[in-house]
Amino acid sequence: MISSLFAAFGAAVSFGVASALQAYAARTEPAGSGLAGLLRVVLRWPYLLGLVFDLAGFVAEIVALRGLPLFAVQAAIAGSLAVTAVLAVPLLSVRLSGNEWIAVAGVCVGLASIGFSAGAEGAPTVGAAFRWGLVAATGVLVLAALGANRLPNPARCSALGLAGGLGFGIVAIAARILPDLSPAHLVRDPAAYLAIVAGVTAFASFTTALQTGAVAAATAALVLGESVVPAAVGVLLLGDTTRPGYWPVAAGGFALAVVSAVLLARFGEPA
């Protein structure tokens, strides 16, 4: 349990540092257009270092999911926005407002409450009905993302951001139900392939949302999709629990962390 808590907070820090570094790379590179401008940003050392932190965050998230409820891990991932917001002060010369500092504190208090009250994760073994349901949900997500791309703005931006969040939520659920992370098992488990399909869909949806609308709107929808839905699935279908008698503390901490993260949504991705 303790190691999984450290892994969840490590994932939040890693994702937060990654976004801050990538935003720094984008902000300090002269404006450009097309593939050449994108490559100049991606090949800068801060952006590449950010990708290393992204990978470290993903590994830490997988480790955390082996021992913590989904609601705890996904709230921690949403809390990475607080890390990005704090690092934006020295890296991007951003001045946080009083409300934003309150939101940073809200994320910290919410995550501390979740960590204190979280119980053990439910059993990772699920039946065929759950797995087929996850397959169907992934298929619906792909179709919904394609449909959202045809909507007019600003609905298009929010819908694609939500599709991105739901996709990352499916990745977390699929990773959670993997009983074995050995390569020999992963190549035979459909959940591993669902994670890939959902992850690609989520990345494409969120990237498109950022290109077509406000960063804050897209990221707020992303946070809601990747935290609320997986948390509900974990509690209702996978047996996630809190410590006996601590469910109000966990629920309050989860709500506080997610709402505070939504308030910090403008720091969710480099412009």
Residue 268 in this model has a pLDDT that exceeds 80: no
Binning pLDDT at 50, 70 and 90, where does residue 253 land? Answer: very high
Phi-psi region of 245 (alpha: psi -120 to 50; beta: other; left: phi over 0): left
Q: Nearest Cα to 211, choosing from 10, 42, 43, 34?
A: 34
Binning pLDDT at 50, 70 and 90, where does residue 188 land? Answer: confident
Q: What tokens does 172 get?
A: 């977390």
Residue 181 in this model has a pLDDT that exceeds 80: no
Q: What tokens does 52 get?
A: 């290393």
What pLDDT does 52 receive?
A: 92
Full DSSP string of 173-204: HHHHT-S--SHHHHTT-HHHHHHHHHHHHHHH
Binning pLDDT at 50, 70 and 90, where does residue 254 land? Answer: very high
pLDDT in tens, 243-252: 888 889 999 9
Binning pLDDT at 50, 70 and 90, where does residue 96 land? Answer: confident
Mean pLDDT value across the chain: 84
pLDDT in tens, 195-248: 999 999 988 888 788 776 677 788 888 889 989 999 998 888 888 888 888 889
What pLDDT does 68 receive?
A: 86
What pLDDT does 89 receive?
A: 86
Q: How far is CA 32 from the centre of its chain?
A: 28
